[in-house]
Structure 1
Amino acid sequence: MKHVSSPSLAAASFVGRALAGVAALALIGTTPALAQKSKYDGPLPKGTALAPPKDDADVAPAISVDTMKAVTKRLSADDFEGRGPSTAVEPKVLDYIIAQFKAAGLQPGNHGQWLQEVPTVEMTAGNFTPMTVTGGKTPLSFKVGADFVAASWRVTPKTRIENSDLVFVGYGINAPELGWNDYAGIDMHGKTAVILVNDPDYEAKDETGPFKGRRMTYYGRWTYKFEEAARQGATAAIIVHDTFPAAYGWNVVNSSWTGSQYSVQKANDGMDQTMANGWVQLPVAQAIFKDAGKDFAALSAAAKVKGFHAVPLGLKISYGFDNTIRRSSSHNVIGILPGSQRPDEVVLYSAHWDHLGHCTPDATGDGICNGAVDNATGVAALTALAAANVKAGPAARSQVFIALTLEESGLLGSEYYAQNPVYPLDHTVGGVNMDALLPAPRSRSYSMTGGDKSDLTDLFRDVLADKGLSEVPEDHSERGGYYRSDHFSFAKRGVPMFDIARSPDLFDGGVAAGEKIGEDYNQHHYHAPSDEYSDSWNWAGIQEDAEMYYALGRAMADSDWWPNWRKGDEFRAIRDKACAAATGGCHP
């Protein structure tokens, strides 16, 4: 689960996920479900309002709190050893999840099998040579860790960057829908891209601007910048770290990049990627630009303006390191409730089952990171939702329930599935992702992580209205929370995905109580041995979260509506292209 520090119950501002829903006072079984035939039966005319029908004959089945309690307690037990993927305990964890899926009434979801193997590569860099820059006024040399970090996504024992030309490419963005291309007119083969973090209008006070102002878009994420540099043929890519636009300090970059790096195994061993990706401290970048006779501040300002052209620095960079390589595999668990009318169209429900396994012992000597909240609760909700949907009877479309692995290692389970989908993505309507549902009382409101990115927002708002809840803005939208959990692996390939978060404004205690709960978990239990199950948990919020997920998912599954991304969204063109080429399935 992604971590963003802030004492809030909202996903992006607390620990990155929907934390507890709202609920216990609304009795289980009293929320209206969406009718088999409703206004969602699309495609919907532009501007059509979406609202769940209030038909007393269509009542949502009970979402079993007892099931969620039992699954959470079992998955976070000490003998599951923190659910480390690719460890000796994984088969026992998988057997338990499969047993729960069977008990819920699901069928095996991977062509008659329950499991999808996820092959991974672990690479650990070492034996670094200094990063040297030549060709300027004075030769420069920088130290790994203190000045720069780097890793390779190519599975190779040695990485050597030798006399590669440095090119400043601004924010490293190629966004055709915005008419923006920082790489226009330059051949990056053999060259190293120097890239600014975030996107050009991150300093805005509101969300107005080509890149949604202060709200980070995918173009601002470091993952995108490295991917785009590879597509442009660059030999290497370096991001300039700056704490404010990055939203975290150099210590976070250093700690994240100096250990093992994980990736999904590919047939080409990642040879379509750059030879190396990395970061440099801001003063390092400033020194390099000065050595080139360039003004870093002036060029950074120029990069914020549409029409910016990449600037060769007239310098060459060299550095290298060795890679220790370990190949392994883990597994996703996939179950399906086949649809009654259009079984080839699917709605996804996802939650990651993995956690950290054995970790640094606390003061009591406890060295198991049990991951009760993160994310045994998500798998528990996934199981209870499966049972509820089976009880309600098949929806028009198929519903696929996936317990994903390796989220904590970089969303690798969802990334592998999205690269190798069991059900074609152009036949995947959309979905909901569940990650870290914090025990707490119910709240008055939810937020849509990522903001108003897709047609799913219309459904979200009407489900809230139906439940008497309100919408609040995402907290800390500049941190790019939408791009940090498993739903993103599907979203970046065009599949609209829900990521919702509960606000700290609790019916019982208000904002102060909600922030206290969030801060306590964030500061004392997140990724720590103390993230353990307790019989004293308040399940009201988790209960309502599950009812929200049920309403949102079932609405998509019981309709023939195909939600799309808003015009101008970074994922709209991907979905439109897929739908235009689809045989059956989605339509633009």
Structure 2
Amino acid sequence: MHPSALLRLSPLLLIAACAQTPGPRTAAAPPAISEATLTTLTQILSSDAFEGRAPTTAGEEKTVQLIADRFRKAGLQPGNNGSWYQNVPLVETTASPSSLRITGGSKPLVFSYRTDMVANTYQVQPKVSLDNSEIVFVGYGINAPERGWNDYAGLDVRGKTVIILVNDPDWQNETLQGPFNGKAMTYYGRWTYKYEEAAKQGAAAAFIVHDTAPASYGWNVVQSSWTGAQYNMDDPGGHADQSKVIGWLTNDAAKQLFAASGKDLATLSAAAKQPGFRAVPLGQKASISLSNQIKRQASRNVIGILPGKSRPNEYVIYTAHWDHLGRCDADPSGDDICNGAVDNASGTAGLVALAEAHAKAGPAERSIIFLAVTAEESGLLGSRYYAENPIYPLAQTVGGANMDSLSLAGDFRDFVAIGSGKSELDAYLQRAIAPMNLTLKPEPSPQAGYYYRSDHFSLARKGVPMIYAKGGEDLVNGGTSAGAAWAADYRAKRYHSPNDEYDIDWNWAGAIRELQIYYGVGRALADGRAWPNWNKGDEFRGIRDRSRAGK
């Protein structure tokens, strides 16, 4: 799961209006999901022998071969013109940054790498330098003309360093009303967008101010995810169109920076929430240099297909990412392998178990694709590459579902659909859970923007309706207190750390129920004739309409 997508979200209400979507009258009966497949594959994939499954490593080679072998044994066919693999050209950069030096304020400041800030670059160069770059606070760093919002209005930031707040201006709203959907994060709140827009504006550097509440994760996640080897698409231009330096500041470092300019971070952050906010030059200059180790090497997506009986050129797709962080910060015992058992060995095992279940049931009317993608932890790169270079036409891809970390706290009484209300797939999900006596509850933290944080988003932004769902925290054994405790423990002690290891005591009942639900949704899509769309007004509706119209 990408750094900003934490496991075990609380449940989300599925809107009743979606029940009007054309589709099957009844859901397919829940199939038998092999617990042996789930436990065996999760344990193998998260073992030390796989070294944390970092792309382009020996751990990748073992991983993709294992997945392809299990797809073959399940009864799938190779999904890429006779091959199980789709090459994903990546460039790996390992940056060694200097300290970030700030001058021009009431006193010079020196921010240390990892403790005060992290810094990296998308540019593929052996050395990158930022020298005396003027610093400007640009609020949330959003340029959204359709919403009447532009934090860069009247501003020329070419060659300058911009300081940006995480999330959207209205993330603290209690409702879903506001210029950016209230407390529900939009793509404008994602760190990926903020760096993209800063580069478009010509900024030489962009630093996001970390704050745990709006980011939805702590500084430890930034440390583990933004240091060491980083991956990007191997662009012919070496990403020279991107900012020289991108990174994060701790909240304390940002407060010091603003104070040295005679400003207050809290006061300017409050001002940045208001329409009409204008950027504020801080009267300071930033300097930093980075040395880059560069390695170009292809990683691989693994793809299998169960061809359809009557409409094989129409497709349903399941996705899960096989990668994790590889070697990372060691724990007190010296263990430096981030095994990624929950995230996402479990989801990869679930993908194989679904392949087995569908193959055992026999071909559906439409073809079903099973796609295990690389480099999710590096910014959804494997799924993005597939979406930009699809083996099967996206206009002919009906929809699908993504699995990123299965529920391993046990069976649950409630269910979550991240991004509920976005597409007509909600009705399929609603039918799939109907026989299971599950309760649907509202999402407590839509400000986290989870829909934009895993591999389904790569396909969604190209117009393909995708769902991403999980069991909730109301556990059959222990209720919400037990579920919340399990989630809190995972976030605090295991997420993106060497402690995310296989546990023989895990209760797989919730994971099996999740996969049964995914099976029901996928089978209904694959045996049906409907083409569910995004709901009217959704950001992806126009893309889908143009895609289906062949435009």
Bin of the TM-score, shorter chain as denominator length: 0.7 to 0.9
* CA offset digits 1:517-543 (Å, max 9, x no partner): 445555555543572253x54332222
| Matched residue SS, 2:317 | strand
Q: Which amino acid aligns with 2:513?
A: E
Question: Which of 399, 424, 434 is 1:465 aligned to?
Answer: 434
Q: Is the 8 A contact 1:50 1:459 kept in 2?
A: no
**In the superposition, relative to structure 1, how do residues 47 and 100 fare at CA in structure 2: closer, same or farther (>3 Å)?**
closer
| Matched residue SS, 1:442 | coil
Q: Which moved more, 1:516-525 or 1:112-121?
A: 516-525
1:194 matched residue in structure 2:
163
Question: Which of 246, 258, 274 is 1:305 aligned to?
Answer: 274
| Matched residue SS, 1:62 | coil
* CA offset digits 1:239-261 (Å, max 9, x no partner): 23334333444454345434333
Question: Which of 48, 55, 66 is 2:20 aligned to?
Answer: 48
Structure 1 position 54, deviation (Å) = 3.1
Q: Which amino acid aligns with 2:528?
A: S
2:299 matched residue in structure 1:
330
**In the superposition, relative to structure 1, how do residues 458 and 420 fare at CA in structure 2: closer, same or farther (>3 Å)?**
same
1:214 matched residue in structure 2:
183
**In the superposition, relative to structure 1, how do residues 126 and 420 fare at CA in structure 2: closer, same or farther (>3 Å)?**
same
1:264 equivalent to 2:233? Answer: yes
1:452 equivalent to 2:421? Answer: yes
1:233 equivalent to 2:202? Answer: yes
Q: Is the 8 A contact 2:24 2:528 kept in 1?
A: no
Q: Which moved more, 1:180-189 or 1:97-106?
A: 180-189
Q: Is the 8 A contact 1:205 1:214 kept in 2?
A: yes
Hey, what's the Cα distance between the residues in 2 that align with 1:363 and 1:291? 36
1:93 matched residue in structure 2:
63
Structure 1 position 502, deviation (Å) = 0.8
Q: Which amino acid aligns with 1:100?
A: R
**In the superposition, relative to structure 1, how do residues 558 and 124 fare at CA in structure 2: closer, same or farther (>3 Å)?**
same
Q: Which amino acid aligns with 2:187?
A: Y
1:549 equivalent to 2:518? Answer: yes
Structure 1 position 50, deviation (Å) = 5.8
Hey, what's the Cα distance between the residues in 1 that align with 2:339 and 2:102? 44
Structure 1 position 466, deviation (Å) = 3.9
Hey, what's the Cα distance between the residues in 2 that align with 1:308 and 1:365? 48
Q: Is the 8 A contact 2:102 2:284 kept in 1?
A: no
**In the superposition, relative to structure 1, how do residues 13 and 276 fare at CA in structure 2: closer, same or farther (>3 Å)?**
farther
1:104 equivalent to 2:74? Answer: yes
1:402 matched residue in structure 2:
371
Structure 1 position 388, deviation (Å) = 2.3
Structure 1 position 82, deviation (Å) = 4.3
Structure 1 position 382, deviation (Å) = 1.1
Consecutive unaligned residues in structure 1, runs of 5 or more? 19-44
Hey, what's the Cα distance between the residues in 2 that align with 1:48 and 1:366? 52
1:62 equivalent to 2:59? Answer: no
1:539 matched residue in structure 2:
508
* Aligned pairs (5 A) from 1:169-568: 169-282=138-251, 284-285=253-254, 288-289=257-258, 297-313=266-282, 315-357=284-326, 370-519=339-488, 521-522=490-491, 526=495, 527-528=497-498, 531-532=501-502, 534=504, 537-568=506-537
Q: Is the 8 A contact 2:168 2:189 kept in 1?
A: yes
* CA offset digits 1:526-583 (Å, max 9, x no partner): 543572253x5433222211110111222333334334444454x33xx513532555
1:144 matched residue in structure 2:
112
| Matched residue SS, 1:116 | strand
Q: Which moved more, 1:552-561 or 1:194-203?
A: 552-561
Hey, what's the Cα distance between the residues in 2 that align with 1:358 and 1:272? 30
Q: Is the 8 A contact 1:4 1:12 kept in 2?
A: no
* CA offset digits 1:269-290 (Å, max 9, x no partner): 1122111112334455455556
Structure 1 position 106, deviation (Å) = 1.3
**In the superposition, relative to structure 1, how do residues 435 and 233 fare at CA in structure 2: closer, same or farther (>3 Å)?**
same
Q: Which amino acid aligns with 2:387?
A: A
Structure 1 position 420, deviation (Å) = 2.7
* CA offset digits 1:56-80 (Å, max 9, x no partner): xx64543333433443344345544
Hey, what's the Cα distance between the residues in 1 that align with 2:401 and 2:500? 28
1:125 matched residue in structure 2:
95
Hey, what's the Cα distance between the residues in 2 that align with 1:228 and 1:349? 31
Question: Which of 556, 574, 579 is 2:545 aligned to?
Answer: 579
Q: Which amino acid aligns with 1:270?
A: H
Question: Which of 7, 12, 30 is 2:9 aligned to?
Answer: 12
Structure 1 position 194, deviation (Å) = 2.5
Q: Is the 8 A contact 1:60 1:392 kept in 2?
A: no
Q: Which moved more, 1:78-87 or 1:492-501?
A: 78-87
Q: Which moved more, 1:141-150 or 1:290-299?
A: 290-299
Structure 1 position 151, deviation (Å) = 1.3
Q: Which moved more, 1:409-418 or 1:101-110?
A: 409-418
Q: Which amino acid aligns with 1:580?
A: R
| Matched residue SS, 1:330 | strand
Hey, what's the Cα distance between the residues in 2 that align with 1:395 and 1:307? 54
Hey, what's the Cα distance between the residues in 1 that align with 2:261 and 2:547? 48
Q: Which moved more, 1:84-93 or 1:442-451?
A: 84-93
**In the superposition, relative to structure 1, how do residues 181 and 560 fare at CA in structure 2: closer, same or farther (>3 Å)?**
farther
Q: Is the 8 A contact 1:407 1:486 kept in 2?
A: yes
**In the superposition, relative to structure 1, how do residues 385 and 263 fare at CA in structure 2: closer, same or farther (>3 Å)?**
same
Q: Which moved more, 1:92-101 or 1:307-316?
A: 307-316
**In the superposition, relative to structure 1, how do residues 323 and 537 fare at CA in structure 2: closer, same or farther (>3 Å)?**
closer
| Matched residue SS, 1:553 | helix
Q: Which amino acid aligns with 1:462?
A: R
Hey, what's the Cα distance between the residues in 2 that align with 1:240 and 1:413? 28
* CA offset digits 1:179-218 (Å, max 9, x no partner): 3232334444333332222111112123322222223222
Q: Is the 8 A contact 1:5 1:522 kept in 2?
A: no
1:36 matched residue in structure 2:
none
Hey, what's the Cα distance between the residues in 1 that align with 2:251 and 2:47? 44
What is the TM-score normalised by the length of structure 2? 0.86
Hey, what's the Cα distance between the residues in 1 that align with 2:163 and 2:332? 43
Hey, what's the Cα distance between the residues in 2 that align with 1:264 and 1:174? 25
Q: Is the 8 A contact 2:132 2:286 kept in 1?
A: yes
Q: How many residues align?
A: 545
Q: Which amino acid aligns with 2:25?
A: P
Structure 1 position 430, deviation (Å) = 2.5
Q: Is the 8 A contact 2:185 2:449 kept in 1?
A: yes
Hey, what's the Cα distance between the residues in 1 that align with 2:530 and 2:281? 49
Q: Is the 8 A contact 2:94 2:293 kept in 1?
A: yes
Q: Which amino acid aligns with 1:579?
A: D
1:26 matched residue in structure 2:
none
**In the superposition, relative to structure 1, how do residues 177 and 427 fare at CA in structure 2: closer, same or farther (>3 Å)?**
farther
1:37 matched residue in structure 2:
none
Structure 1 position 155, deviation (Å) = 0.4
Q: Which amino acid aligns with 1:547?
A: Q
